[in-house]
Each structure stands twice: as C-alpha cells, then as structure tokens.
Structure 1
Amino acid sequence: MSRKLCYKDDGTFKIVQFSDPEFSLPDDAETKMVERMIRIVEAEKPDLIVYAGDVIASAGLQDPEAAFRRACAVPESLGVPWAAIFGNHDSEGTITREQLHALQLTYPLNRARMDPPGVHGSGNYVSTVAGQDGHAAAALYFLDSGSYSPLEHSRMGFYDWIRRDQIEWYAGESYRLMNENDGAPLPSLAFFHIPLPEYNDVWDFGVCYGERHDIICAPWINSGLFAAMIERGDVMGTFAGHDHGNDFWGEWHGIRLCYGRTTRDAYLGRPFAAGARVIELREGERSFDTWIRLEDGTIVRDQPRHEPEGRTSENGARGQRSN
C-alpha cells in the first residue's frame, strides 16, 4: 500500500479525530470505547484517523506500551491510515513521548514522520494530501504541545506550550510547500493536544458554535504559533483535545479554532455523549466542513451558537481534574 495520502475521486478527503481516548486497561470501559470507535469509523469511512493526544493514560500503568499498542490496533484492524500526537497523560508513566512516537512509526498504516532534528518535543511532522494530479494539494501539520509547564514554580501556568523552534520549523515547512506550489500557500490544517491561548479569545470575543463545559486549559504563555499561522496564510483550521467537556469551534482572524469531541469520558458528572469530530477537505478549495458524530450514531452539524461575552475566561488548570 502506498504511504501517500490522496484525495478521493470525488475530490474529498475525510479525517476522523479521536480525542483523549486514554487507553489504559483492557476493561469493559475500554472495550466499549473501542466498539464506539469502530462504529464511527465504519459509518464515516475516513481517509485518515487522527489521535489528538492523550492516546494513553500512562500514569501507574505497568505496561504502557501494551495500552498504546491496543490504540494502534484500532485503525490497523480497520485498514485506515492514521497518525497520533501526544498529550500530557501519554508520558506521565514509565514510557516517553519519544518511545511512543518511534512505536507508532513501526505500524504499516501509520502516516507520521520521523522527528525533525533539533526541534522541541516528539511528534512534530507534516503530511501532505495529494490531488488528482499527484502533487500536494493540502497539508496536515502535527505539533507536540507538550505536557506540563516547566515554570510552575513561577506561577506561569499548569500546561506546556508550543516552543519557538517548533514554530520556526512550521514556518520553514510552510515556505517549502508554498514554493513547491507555485508560490501559493498550501491549504492546511494543524493538530495539537493542548489548545492555544486564542481559544480563550474566540470564546470570549467571537461567535462560537458548540459547548464549553470545561475551563479552557490553554498555556498561560503565548509563544506565537497563531501569529505565525496568520503570517503564513496557509492554516485554515486548528484542532485540539485536552478539555473533555468542550467541543466548540469559532473563527478568529480567518482561522477556525476547533475542539474535537471526547472519545472516552467528559468527567462532567452529567450526560455528555462521547464521539468524534469529523473533518472533510475538498480539493481545490480553501475551506473544509466539520461535524460531530456521537456514539449512538447521531450526526451534529448545527452546534448551538454562543455569542461573545466580552470578558477573559478563567485561565489555567483545573487542579485535580483529569484532562
């Protein structure tokens, strides 16, 4: 099988984003989640599956590699190309992000790439989607948003941020792909686990669609990725996980900032069905469609509208809550 991602003959390319599945123990809860994932994939028939971080909940696991292999087995068994980025829970135990990234690269249907040298984190890569002519027609950026802030002692927030060298790497790849595309920015999407600070801005000052039941746990340091994406003019939308009770999206300065939908548990103490976000690109168009498919098969295209509140959301972590 070719490792190249391609638009279908009808000019579409579909992605299913699974957020925060947190594989840990092969118990009933995990079995039900896997069955849910299989139903969603069989219904949507995606061209790519993306694990948007917290693929496993590694803390305290005796065999975190086994948990990750069970996650890898889902797309592999379904014959669907896939890629993963990592979240704060993936490397809390006895396995590192580097080991997880190396492990995913051993699977035949995995479409991740080896890490670029000298770039912070593990799981920074770009994959292109070929058009009908065989040339790159879209790009998918995957970035390691880290885990916990190294500056907790100085009250700089609980969660990590995308670092300057990662942003420079993204900009360099963006320039390269633009030059290969006759000087035009390549329509692109970006995936990372921890939302950018701008997710607070779009909720507070823009019109959003969807639900927000969790604090937006963005880093307190804004390292400038959003500004770089504005400057480059290629990224149409970003996709995060991390905050299990949030599934909203909103457009901010021409970029759609989107959450996924938790695939396992929202930890809310109230009903919030698990599911996945679905994204569909169209060749030759600088746009995409997105919707949510829930565990019972319901498709949610028209999410509830949220008007701007004009204030700063609560920032930072949720203490002992797990996300």
Structure 2
Amino acid sequence: MLPRRVCRSFSYVVALLFVAVVLLLLANKHQIVNLNQYVPYDLFASTAPSFFQPPSDQFLLDISINSCAFYNSKNPNCGKPGPREGQFGDITEYEGGWLRLKKDLCLGKSWVKKEVLSVKEINHVNFQKVLSKFQLPDEVIVDIAVQDVEGDSKIKGNKLKLPKYVIEDYHKQKTYDGATQDNLIEQNKDEVLDGSTPDSSKASHKIQEMIYPETGEASGKGDSTNDADDNDEKHNKRGKTAHQNDLTRVYYIPTKDELTKLGWRYKSHGIWLKYGPHNSKDAITAVDILFGLDAVDPRPNWSLVKQPVRGVCSSAGIPPFITYRRGPKLDYKKEYKKPLVINENAEFKILQVADLHFSTGFGKCLNPEPVSSASGCQADPRTLEFVNKVLDIEQPDFVVLTGDQIFGSAAPDSETAVFKALNPFIERKIPFAVVLGNHDAEGSLSAKELMGLYSDLPYSVAAMGPESVDGYGNYIATVQGKSKSSVALSFYFVDSHAYSENKKVFPGYDWIKENQLIYMKEEAESIKDGVAEFQKEKFTENGESKNKIHLSMAFFHIPLPEYKKLNQPTIGQQREGVISPMYNSGARDAFHDIGVKAISVGHDHCNDYCLLDEEQSPNDDNKIWLCYGGGSGLGGYGGYGGYIRRMRTFVLNTAKGEIKSWKRAENEPEKKIDEQVLVSGRNVVNWK
C-alpha cells in the first residue's frame, strides 16, 4: 500500500492537471490560445454546413437526433443512427442512408457531448428501384411540425399534446354541411361525439373548437340557453356563405390511428413528420437548423418551423429550429437577380451599412446610447429596428455592407446571424454587396464559406472572386446606363483580410495585397468600352446638350494608413484611434489610378468622418475622399464620446458628375448629419 503522503501528492497533481485543462479549454473557447495546432485532428473546427443549398435530387425518408461524445465528434458516424434504423431499413446498397448535419445543436455549450441531427435520404432514381424491388409503400417526408408543449397542452382534449399545426392539417379538409353541423352541435353538449362522422366510422373525439367565418371566434361548449342561442345565430349567418369551404368548421382531436392514416408520425424531441407519395409537390428535399427565437430564413423556398426542437442542451438559451426546403435547389443569382440601373433623374443611391455585429440569438448590447437604455437591451432586434427605419427613409437603390456583418465570437452558428443581417434587404428586394471584416470568420463558418453564403443569397451582387487572388470577395459591380452594355457607375469591393500573418515585422492588421490591386486594375480595364459608351449618352440642361459622367467608388473593411492623415480637411468626427495596417501596400494610389473618387470603410465604429486626402499634390487631380461609414450595430462596441450608431448614404448623379453624402443616427434617423458634396463635375471637391 502506498504511503499516505504519496497518495496525497498524487491527488494534488491530478487536481492541478484538471484545473489546467479546464483553463486551457476556456482560453481556447475565448480565442486566447489556439489549441488546433497542438492536436492530431481539429477538435474545434467549424461544425457549420459548407453549403446552405443541398442538392435537390434527394428524397428525405427520416430524421433523427442523437448525442455524440465530444471527444469523438469528428468521427463522421458519431451520433448517426445505424444503417438499419429508420424508414426503409438498410439502403446503403442503393447509395442511400443517414447524413449528419454539420451543426451542433448544443452550440458548443456542452463540455461532454454534441447533439446532432441526421436525415435519411436517397436519390430519386434509386428510390424508384427500392420501391419496385421490395414493394414498399411510396412515402417520403412531405411536412414537418414540432410540438409546443405549453401551448398545445392548453387545447381542450389534446391529451396526446399534438401540435396545433397537425390538428389543423387533419381538419383543413373536413367541412360539414348544415344538417351535419346541427347534429354535431347537439352532440357537443356533452363534449363527446359518439357515432359516425362523414370521415370516420369509429369516431370518439372531443370537439376542440367551432370557427365561424364572420367572427373568427370559437363558440361556447356549454349547454346553457344563451350558448344555444349564440350558436343558432351564428349558424344562420353561416347560411349566407357562398362556398363549401366557408361553412362552419368543427375541429376534433384526432386519434393516433387517424393521424397515421393521414401520414403523420411522431419521432422524438417534439418532432412530427408527415409522409406522402414521392411525386407530391410538397416533398421535402432538404433540412437545416437555425438558432434563436429571432431566427429567420430568407431563402425563398425554405420554411422555418415556428416551434423549437425540444429536449436538446441549447434549447433553454438559444433553441434550435428546423427549417426545410420544398422543391428543387434554386440558383438565387439567376432567379432573384435585380439589375443595377441609374434612375430617370440620373441618380443612384447607396446605403452603407458598417459593422452590424449580429449574433446567434438576440445578442448583447455594447455601450448603447443613451446609457439608460442598456437595461433589457437586445442588440440584434434594436439594430434591425434602426436598419428598417433608415431603409424606410432612404429607399436606397443599393446596399453595401462593409464587413463585420456578424460578430464571430457571439455567433456559434454563423448562418443564423447572416440570415438575420441580410433579411431586411432580401425582404425588400434591394440588391446588396458584401465584403468581409476581421470578425466575420470567427464564428462557425470560414471566410470562404461565408463569402459563398453572402454571394449565393437572393439579390446579392457579391462574388467570391478569382481563386488566384488573395482573399475572398474581390469583385466589381457596375450600374448600367441606357443600354445593358454601358457602364454608368463602377464599384470595387476588396477583401481587406483580418490579422497580419507577419506579426513580428508588421503586427496588427493585414493589408490589401498586390495581386488584389492588379486584379482591380484588370477589372477597370475590362469595363473601359462600357464606360466610353455611357459617356456618349446625352442629357439636356437649360436647353444645352451635355454628356453624362461615369463615377467610381471602392468599399472594404479596414481603413488604409492614409486615414491617419488628420491634418487634412475632414467632415465628421474622429472619436477613436485609426486602426489600420502598419504596412502600406499602395492601395490608395492604385484606386485613384483607376478613377475611384471616394473610398468608404468600416472597422473603427466610432469614427464617421470623410477625409480629403490631398497632401501629395493639392493643386492637381491626385485627390481622393477617404470615408468611414460609422458603426451601425448595437452588438459591436461604442462608447467613445457618447457615440450613437449611424449609417452613411451616398447619392451619385451622373448628369452632374456628383457624389453627395450624409449620415443618419439611431436617435434621430429622420435628420441628415454632415451633408456634403464630395465630387462635382467628376472633380473631387470639399463643399458642405
């Protein structure tokens, strides 16, 4: 037997090691250290899906949620049901089976496990083979519902706690004529219906409610005279309706057997699946998970189930919601493309939205103004309210998001945060462009995956850019004139990256690379003919015929070193230090050389100035405006000098060769701030 002193020393060592491991894991979670480089495989890699639009040649046969031990979570089979489990049994011979969704329903909050959702799927051709060979029933998933335990249990007679959606689906075709209606009301006096109904020979159901078309109110179920009089009165009103579907409906709580005949089956975690034939227009072809009570799904052919999945580890804080797609995968770029066109007044309005800092869930407000509004402040809903107010006021033709749309460390599911951030523009069918910020890729999606997501959404003009060029999201967007081939305006979007890869020599932030600037010059060269064509277009002013003027701007996230030259003319406020790269790659001159008159960035939330960089040669054309958009999101820091969130507007006029700008603040969005003229007659000017 070991001496007591040795045992005590050993226990101290074990306890010390345990504390050290816990501290290391906490440090990794908060990005103080990066453990990925010290483990044989990446325990902490992204769990988000690489594609938000799965292939559409699949039928879904089943859904399952299971736990997966954290240490084994990189095993692709961890948490997946066995091949024999679920509908149709083992279909691996036909290239079908379970596919695990690459999301953790715990959002990384559990130290010991992940919970994963798997779907059983098979492609169309092989499904037909399985049906013909084994004579199995033709059934695939055509609908999904989730229980609301508290709400559903309040439905009278709903002992099975069926989702209200399932009950309504069961009864949506059950409309009765007047005679049957009177009979059912009479039997309802005892709250139990015995005997047969038009649709069931073995009915014994409690009536849930009777809806009347004129009032939309549920009738009483007592046997008092007043109740009977009310029913008669409403029944007489019903007699005036013209269509069978407008007749009074009587809803029952269906039995399990009746639901099974209709195709509804309970799975787990409150999930009900409805099965139907594979050729149904309602066949579901993809499933995804979004998180939080404020989750939205802006994808046109996707539907978000309004009730959260039950019994998973994140459900108390940021619950998971199922969203599903019916029909084929759509190419949103083609199906929901809106061309950028100058309006009849030769104007084009841009709203710059910088640093939204959206989260998974409501998000935490940082430094809100006034300070008294901090109590109970939810960052994302408040930011969305501000964004929607400005959109209502400005009615922009184009929205430019200049990075940090999401706050990666607060977005364990980046897809959820992205959808919330972009939903206002997609809902309003406003074309938008996006560049990456330094925080975007700190969540569950990599920079490449995020840019793919930004680029593929409806009304997005964003693009991945060529693989041979550093970064993701280097592209040009053009606005056409009278003809599709003419280029009235050109906008350059560049990935300004995140943190320096050469920290010893140039610590801090990364810089725009030489091959990116070369690519921008090539893009400018490629539109020269379109620009020349546009500048031949005429307009009449005071009886005089004049040529229109092409204008150009650039947008990215991190400011250039030239933003620090504050001894030059500025309009707006500098409330914090300029955080730019230590290395100057010459981006300012490169953009000037291709005709850019103004650059606008984000990153430094509390700076909102425009600086006229004329230091090099104030008397010639080598001038350019360097602007900040101003931080707009409550989820990002504020606090400098009582900073109030704001957004910047640019109006470009090709008749005047003019660029005007102003800002709007959250506290008084109806008022313009620092309205100024940046460019007039294609020349950089400084007019207020």
Superposed displacement of residue 153, structure 1? 2.5
State the TM-score, normalizing by the size of structure 2. 0.42
User: Where does residue 599 of structure 2 map in the other structure?
Assistant: 238
1:151 to 487, 496, 502: 502
1:220 to 582, 602, 612: 582
Indicate how the Cα distance of structure 1 residues 269 and 302 shifts in structure 2: closer, same or farther if over 3 A, else same. Answer: closer
d(CA) in 2 for partners of 1:59 and 1:287? 40
Opposite residue 14 of structure 1, the aligned amino acid is: K
d(CA) in 2 for partners of 1:230 and 1:17? 20
2:625 to 256, 265, 288: 256
User: Where does residue 208 of structure 1 map in the other structure?
Assistant: 570
> In structure 1, the residue corresponding to 2:383 is in which secondary structure?
helix
User: Where does residue 465 of structure 2 map in the other structure?
Assistant: 115
User: Where does residue 302 of structure 1 map in the other structure?
Assistant: 674
Superposed displacement of residue 158, structure 1? 0.6
> In structure 1, the residue corresponding to 2:440 is in which secondary structure?
coil
User: Where does residue 194 of structure 1 map in the other structure?
Assistant: 558
Superposed displacement of residue 79, structure 1? 2.0
1:280 to 651, 656, 667: 651
User: Where does residue 80 of structure 1 map in the other structure?
Assistant: 430
* Contact 1:116 1:124 (8 Å CA) reproduced: yes
Opposite residue 41 of structure 1, the aligned amino acid is: L
Superposed displacement of residue 94, structure 1? 2.8
Opposite residue 299 of structure 1, the aligned amino acid is: K
User: Where does residue 56 of structure 1 map in the other structure?
Assistant: 406
Opposite residue 252 of structure 1, the aligned amino acid is: D
> In structure 2, the residue corresponding to 1:59 is in which secondary structure?
helix
* Contact 2:551 2:652 (8 Å CA) reproduced: no
Superposed displacement of residue 300, structure 1? 3.2
> Residue deviations 1:40-77, cap 9 Å, x none?
00110000111110000112532111111111212111
> Residue deviations 1:136-191, cap 9 Å, x none?
1110111000000111133x131110000000001111122224333989521000
User: Where does residue 350 of structure 2 map in the other structure?
Assistant: 15
> In structure 1, the residue corresponding to 2:611 is in which secondary structure?
strand
> Residue deviations 1:287-308, cap 9 Å, x none?
300000112224334379xxxx
Opposite residue 199 of structure 1, the aligned amino acid is: Y
1:291 is the counterpart of 2:662: yes
> Residue deviations 1:261-310, cap 9 Å, x none?
21024522542211210011112443300000112224334379xxxxxx
CA RMSD of aligned residues (A): 2.0
d(CA) in 2 for partners of 1:285 and 1:165? 34
1:69 is the counterpart of 2:440: no
* Contact 2:359 2:407 (8 Å CA) reproduced: yes
Opposite residue 490 of structure 2, the aligned amino acid is: A
* Contact 1:177 1:186 (8 Å CA) reproduced: no
Opposite residue 247 of structure 1, the aligned amino acid is: D
User: Where does residue 320 of structure 1 map in the other structure?
Assistant: none
User: Where does residue 490 of structure 2 map in the other structure?
Assistant: 139
> Residue deviations 1:176-207, cap 9 Å, x none?
22243339895210000000111112x2x311
Superposed displacement of residue 108, structure 1? 1.6
Opposite residue 571 of structure 2, the aligned amino acid is: Y
Indicate how the Cα distance of structure 1 residues 132 and 180 shifts in structure 2: closer, same or farther if over 3 A, else same. Answer: closer
Tell me the matched-pair count: 300
* Contact 1:131 1:283 (8 Å CA) reproduced: no
Superposed displacement of residue 130, structure 1? 1.0
2:523 to 167, 170, 173: 173
* Contact 2:608 2:630 (8 Å CA) reproduced: yes
Opposite residue 654 of structure 2, the aligned amino acid is: E
Opposite residue 343 of structure 2, the aligned amino acid is: K
Opposite residue 215 of structure 1, the aligned amino acid is: G
d(CA) in 2 for partners of 1:150 and 1:30? 32
> In structure 1, the residue corresponding to 2:579 is in which secondary structure?
coil
d(CA) in 1 for partners of 2:496 and 2:550? 23
Superposed displacement of residue 225, structure 1? 1.1
User: Where does residue 312 of structure 1 map in the other structure?
Assistant: none
In percent, how many aligned pairs have the same letter? 30
Superposed displacement of residue 81, structure 1? 1.1
Runs of 4+ in 1 over 4 A off after TM superposition: 183-186
**Bigger Rg over Cα:** 2
d(CA) in 2 for partners of 1:284 and 1:252? 25
Opposite residue 210 of structure 1, the aligned amino acid is: G
* Contact 1:236 1:286 (8 Å CA) reproduced: no
User: Where does residue 55 of structure 2 map in the other structure?
Assistant: none
Indicate how the Cα distance of structure 1 residues 303 and 79 shifts in structure 2: closer, same or farther if over 3 A, else same. Answer: closer
d(CA) in 1 for partners of 2:663 and 2:564? 21
2:386 to 8, 33, 36: 36
- Structure ranking higher on relative contact order (CA contacts 8 Å, 6+ apart): 1
Opposite residue 573 of structure 2, the aligned amino acid is: E
> Residue deviations 1:213-246, cap 9 Å, x none?
11101101110111112333x1010000000110
